A and B are shown apart, each in its own frame.
Chain A
Amino acid sequence: MMEHTPKISLENVTYRYSIGTPFEKAALQNVTLGFEGGIITGLMGHTGSGKSTIAQLLNGLLRPTEGTVRIDGQDIWEDPKKIGAVRFRVGLVFQYPEYQLFEETVARDIAYGPHNMGLDDDEIRRRVEEAARFTGITPDIFEKSPFELSGGQKRRVAIAGVMAMDPEILVLDEPAAGLDPKGRAEILGGIRAYQREKKNTIIIISHSMEDMALYADKLMVLDHGRVSRYGDAHEVFSHAEELKSVGLSRPQITKFVMELARAGVPVNGGIYSVEDAYKEVLRVFAEKKKGAK
């Protein structure tokens, strides 16, 4: 078990698809895991490790075949009629969420979730503006049709639509998939800024070690529905062999710095971003210069 008290957790959860048909299949088998409150957790695992199923279990879109899902210790399925309220507490941004846009204008699409929550107009406007700020949507496109926007902008609008619901827990399934490096940095940076201001709980599902090393506070590595590693970037990435066995690998820049160290350059290991590597290399050069003098 984990030493922290989780904000949201799965306890011995099993989930089976298409029960009672020849296509029945267990997507998750007896999974127990918990996410700490007030931080960003990066949930990582190879394709088919059940990450997306977990996302849908967390906000009650799927009901576990066996086991319980708890928020602040309370079973979310205690009263199935109140599951709608859980969906307002746990926001979920699906993979490629740009396909869910439908309103006539960007502002109205972002306001759709808050509107369903029954908030008044002033509050909705405030939330739309706030969510737009975090996702980098400028007010000049508020009145545009979401279908006129570029792919990256649509993605931002879709994420803003869930952020505007101001959930206690926000789950994002591959929010930066398919974007260019600048778009990735902006979206993930925006999510981080949002978390730092709101102090809420965020779970980001991702394949990208690079992104998670930079933007997540804790990393959780899933393997066959089991948590194989949990900790900060340093703890998780120091187990290279284990990561490899679950189909993941350390960030490229980390590998690069390790190679430098092996080649005899006196750099420190444990570097997970290009920025840090750059500083580290400069530091080594500066020391060398000093030594030469």
Chain B
Amino acid sequence: MTLPPVLRAAAGPLRIMMQDRLAVIGMCVLGVIIAMALFAPLLSTHDPRHINEIEDGSVLQRGAEGWELQESLGPLALNDADHRGDVAIIVGRGGMGWAREGAGDWAPLDLPTEADLHAVALSPAGRALAVGEDGVILLRTGADWAQIDAPEPARLRGAVWLDDASALIVGTREEIWLLEVDSGAITAIDSPVGRGFPLQSVALDVDGTALIVGERGLAVRYDPEGGSATLERLGSSRDLNHIHIDEGGAALVVGERGTLLRREGADTGWSVDQAPDTRALRAGWIGDDGRAIAAGRNGLIMEWDGAAWQIIPTESERHLRALLVVGDEMLALGSDRFVSRLLPPSREHWFGTDHLGRDLFSQNVHGSQIALLVGFLGATLVVLIGTNVGLIAGYYRGRTETVLMRTVDVMYGIPFEPFALILVLLFQPSLTIVILAVSLLTWRTVARLIRSQVLSLRERPFVKAARVAGASDLRIMYLHIFPNVLPLVFLELAIIVGVSIIAEATLSFLGLGPPQAISWGGILHDARLSGAWRTAWWWNLPPGILIMTTVLSVFFISRSLEVVANPRLRARQ
């Protein structure tokens, strides 16, 4: 088989390299990382910049120190809960329901719907009513759930039992429906406003009437005696989300922007409480013993300490929608889509997530692009400058050499990292500046090495022969001398690829890398800046291991190139 001369020339060194096991490993690993950079968009499981959110049937329980995260109930958000005696029921999105008796575990309910359920209520006799989207009304008598036909597909938000036979259901288009359980009949009650304001929640007051709250501070009282609804003033015009009235008459209404309306007993009036946080509150609970809790978005839970509302630490930033208090056990339930911050590695996020809920596996995969780009581009630039300076200085000698080599000497007086810092900071971080900062000083080593090699080569007979034959300086330099320093050039190229990758990672780690770019150093910069790196090991480890592996593979390759460049090392093997 005859190979073209170029390939035949390359075959020898390649064979020497293949004999070195470490070099082969290095080449394989580098190949994998190059492939990773090229196919980054295909390999990454998520968009590396996308803030990931998840939904979860979250349960938080009040512990001694604060609210602690418990095992999740399914993958769907929990919207409401009610209990009566021993029995407690939770309903959630997607027709999800959970029930518990006594101190037992939560068992999933088999509900005949897939619509989102927004409210659940238990009657004194143990009947259960769950209402939700698309006019879904579910009734449990005994053990079986049956669906009751609604007059229209309203979005139902609240339900309460007036007595064992009748219940009140409210919806987002100001629907107030009276459900007669035995006949299954639904009567629409005229609202005193009648402008289609969303009603969010309903609770039974101590005098047997039902109090309904809704948007823009709307409150409607329904009196089953007269069968009519009347408008009531609670003292707020904010959107109200939830109402809870305890058996003794204490009542709490919560709403948007930290709205808290409290009534201490059946006979006292409503007072507007000062909230320590102005985020939306979605659920409130009050007891006649003076306890009161309000829960809202991003894991916000406030408790009434008798004089003021206090924010209580929670273990999670989940969005809470319901509170369930059974005796001393206090549960907060949620959570619709929340940012999945600092998740440890899982099937969904192989390397976990960072403080903004971004997928770290995808970030690490994308980081290889910048590392290799800066590594190879920087190294090529360095070797290009260094080789030419070395060739010219070594070949021409005399004044040219003095000037060039003095320049190299001066560059040896400039500390590398601080110079790169100053350069990047003076001229705004960009990819170009980072590559320049990496390569502007590094060529000094290459220039010195190549020059010393050229100094001995230019005295060799083949150079003299070429000169006698009348070859021009350029021809001698680039056609006769250059091929002889080529192994050395490749060796330096390999080493400097490694050095450049580390330099880029260093700049990125200091927050001076190319802006907007995802890089390994940048991931570690984020980790350090967020302060979470001390616990989130999945955030620290992969980028460092990737940098190390990449540079190590390049160094392994360079070791075998050293053998190619220096035949004396070969003889020893």
Q: Do A and B come from one complex?
A: no
Q: Which residues of B contact A (CB under 8 A)?
A: none
